[in-house]
Amino acid sequence: MTKFKITETKIKDLIIIDPVVLSDQRGFFMETYNKRYFEKLGFNLEFVQDNHSKSKKGVLRGLHFQKEHSQGKLIRVTRGSIWDVAVDLRKKSPTFGVWHGLILSQENKKLFYIPEGFAHGFLTLDDDTEIQYKCTDFYYPEFDSGINWDDPDIGIKWPFKEFGLEEENLILSERDMDQPSFKEYLGGAK
Ligand SMILES: Cc1cn([C@H]2C[C@H](O)[C@@H](COP(=O)(O)OP(=O)(O)O[C@H]3O[C@H](C)C(=O)[C@H](O)[C@H]3O)O2)c(=O)[nH]c1=O
């Protein structure tokens, strides 16, 4: 029985997963991860940590990655909606520095698998938005790092206007207000 529909992106191994939603008079049931099924699809993933965060509308978290112990992430939104974005930081990748963004929401139930070697960020489009994601390695604060979400060399087209958000009113953490540029990241600075 098919449990997931995989959609590839222009970036190798960065995939969008649509779980099969089984509805009945009570509501719905869906499997959101199945090791055996993912292996059949060629994704042999070992998750060791689950994360869950809640954000107000207009929060931007990112662009984050771990310099060592890079984490693959299987992301989904269980309440509200986000515009999620991944940036390919795999040095030898033909799509190095390329980004891909999409809407993940309680409604569309999509999952986004971001492999190791990517930076990750998201913009929340609803109040009380909750995301839950599985990680292929543990959190190592000493390796926690980032790149400026608005870096011109990466050029992410954040959909502020499309969702009635204003860049100047974004809600950011202290560190996300002052992340290194892509050039600094490339130069190994900071
Ligand atoms: C990531 C993480 C954080 N923390 C602690 C550290 C802080 O005391 C607090 C908030 O951490 P932070 O501000 O780094 O949370 P986010 O801004 O949501 O960071 C995450 O956002 C982007 C989008 C990601 O993909 C990463 O998972 C991660 O970088 O939780 C932990 O205890 N464990 C963890 O795995």
Is 113 one of the annotated active-site residues of the chain?
no
Q: Give the model's confidence band at 181: pLDDT under 50 very low, under 70 low, under 90 confident, else very high.
A: very high
Sign of the C-alpha dihedral, residues 9, 13, 15, 21? positive
Q: β-strands 60-66, 118-124: how paired?
A: antiparallel
- What was the pLDDT predicted at 35? 95
Distance CA 59, CA 41 (A): 34
The residues that bridge with 132 in the sheet, in sequence order, are 52, 76
Distance of CA 97 from the midpoint of ligand 1 (Å): 22
Residue 152: the pLDDT is 97
Q: Residue 7's Cα: distance from chain center in Å?
A: 15
Given the DSSP bridges, would you call strands 4-8 and 15-19 parallel, antiparallel or unpaired? Answer: antiparallel
- Give the mean pLDDT of 126-133: 98
Is the CB of residue 121 below 6 angstroms from any atom belonging to ligand 1? yes
Return the pLDDT at 132. 98
Q: Does the Cβ of 140 fall within 6 Å of ligand 1? A: no
Residues 80, 56: Cα–Cα separation, whole Å: 10
Residue 36 belongs to a domain = no
Chain segment 48-85, per-residue pLDDT in tens:
999 999 999 999 999 999 999 999 999 999 999 999 99
- For the Cβ of 72 lying below 6 angstroms from any atom of ligand 1, the answer is no
| From 37, 64, 69, 113, the catalytic residue | 64
Find residue 114's DSSP bridge partners: 73
Q: Reply yes or no on whether 37 is catalytic.
A: no
Residue 4 lies in a domain: no
State ipTM: 0.98
pTM for the model stands at 0.96
Residues in the chain: 190
- Report DSSP state, residue 176: G
Cis peptide bond N-terminal to 63, omega within 30: yes
Give me the domain span that covers residue 53. Answer: 49-187
Q: With beta carbons less than 8 A apart as the criterion, state whether 106 and 30 touch.
A: no
C-beta of 51 in contact with ligand 1 (< 6 A): yes
Residue 171 per-residue DSSP state: B
pLDDT at residue 189 tops 80: no
Q: How many domains does the chain have?
A: 1
**From CA 9, how far away is CA 115, in angstroms rounded?**
12
Is 169 within the bounds of a domain? yes
CATH number at residue 75: 2.60.120.10
pLDDT at 190 over 60: no
